[in-house]
Copies of this chain bind each other. A is one copy, B any other.
Amino acid sequence: MLSWEGSPIQGNAAISEKLTTLPFSKVEHKVTTLDAQPSSQTVASLLVSVTGLLVVDDSPNPLQFSQVFQLIPDGGSYYVFNDIFRLNYA
């Protein structure tokens, strides 16, 4: 599930559609902080929290963002079970 600026979007197809139709052509992520913790006592899943700056379409004014993922192990790889994205306005 993806929470995008407060909007819930569920399932692979809907999330792909959302992420490929965002209204900008270029975005650069500058990661400032990254934290990870085990998110389960039974499987090797991970909770990851990232904060940083987004530079959108070469704008001189980067935007602060926070994003949280939960990664679930799946046959030697991981899939994204949770994804919460927010811009942080001052």
Contacts and interface: CB of A to CB of B under 8 A. Distances in A.
Interface of A: 1, 3, 6, 8, 32-33, 35, 37-41, 47, 49, 51, 64, 66, 68, 70, 81-82, 84, 86, 88-90
16 contacts: A1-B37, A3-B37, A6-B33, A32-B89, A37-B82, A39-B39, A39-B70, A39-B81, A39-B82, A41-B81, A47-B84, A49-B86, A51-B86, A51-B88, A64-B90, A66-B88
Q: Please classify the interface of chain A as helix (H, G, I), strand (E, B), loop, or mixed, using the class held by over half of its residues.
A: strand
Contacts of A37: 1, 3, 8, 82, 84
Contacts of A90: 64, 90
B84 A35 contact: yes
Given A35-B6, A39-B81, A70 B47 contact: yes
A38 B41 CA distance: 17
